[in-house]
Structure 1
């Protein structure tokens, strides 16, 4: 993988943002702002800084506002394409539908459009992707795991060394999946194009095959889930 042409990135932006209402009644959740910059713009600036050029964004609810705000990506030094969904297809379904646009050779980066991670180490993530390409085991996913936030104390998966599993020993503690990961296109090969599908079942199946790696990320990361949390983040990063 050359520095000039890293893997493509897919930004998930199709959710309705029910918990964010009434803010999301007139604006898609990923266009909500922290310090006068939309959540998507924070991601796009970080991607451009890491020399990623090809970005695909999916949308459903008020998706035309996302396209109007971001355009073709030229303002960020990126090439942005859009995968429109009539109704949201869930994470895996949205990825499956967008794959022809993402057009990955093998691996691609996926980031939830509604998380805020201002110092996201994308350059380091790209190094991990390069190692995955050389791995004879060809892992199907690599997940950034974070300490469990207050609103999600039970966590999602176990991180044992550099392996992510859905089951763990009695004394093991679950971590929360950040919504940031590297995926191999083959993870989605059995999905029906255009049909809704959740990501977690695919990941659990891959975990059973020892095909999911991961790492614990301790940098700033926030799930912007409620208007109060958005307000708190704006105050914290003032």
Structure 2
């Protein structure tokens, strides 16, 4: 009888010891998926975005939010600085979407011109368009970013960040007039994966409102830490 009791205790002890590491792994995964300080991303949105980035060592640091740091073009450029790679997150109503760029926001030497850099670019939706966070690939020729100088002519859209594919932050919101507000955007994706339930136009598939300008509720830029990119 004593031998049987000791055997039962040993079995229970082994079972408890075996289960404990699995519980620790689960807790560690929850901690790794915790959103960074100051972000607008919920825990599920952050976890979904990390999953799309596809790198287990990656984490994100929030650099800029319109609601916290201002909505002017200078506010955006000053806060982001030389950081790269970057993720742009756009919120509008129930929609959360944006773009990844492996480059940074490098201003041109001539403030009346723009700087263009070829880099890795893809778009994504975190909420409102698909049942789950979804990566949206774009054509290779669209893999570039243009960053305008602060004195770029209003006639050509004014200072803005143009991300291939297309996401235009601080877009021309009326004919010949450029607003000094990065919440004015344009967005167009020429094709999306199956399961998309958003808007389509004659120009392509739009994650929000077609090629027309819209005013976002919030724009956030995050730095992808641990990516290991050497691209400019």
TM over 0.5: no
Tell me which of the two structures has the higher relative contact order, counting C-alpha pairs closer than 8 angstroms and 6 or more residues apart. 1
TM-score, structure 2 normalization:
0.26
Bigger-Rg structure (1/2): 2
TM-score, structure 1 normalization:
0.26
Structure with a larger share of its residues in strand: 2
Structure with a larger share of its residues in helix: 1
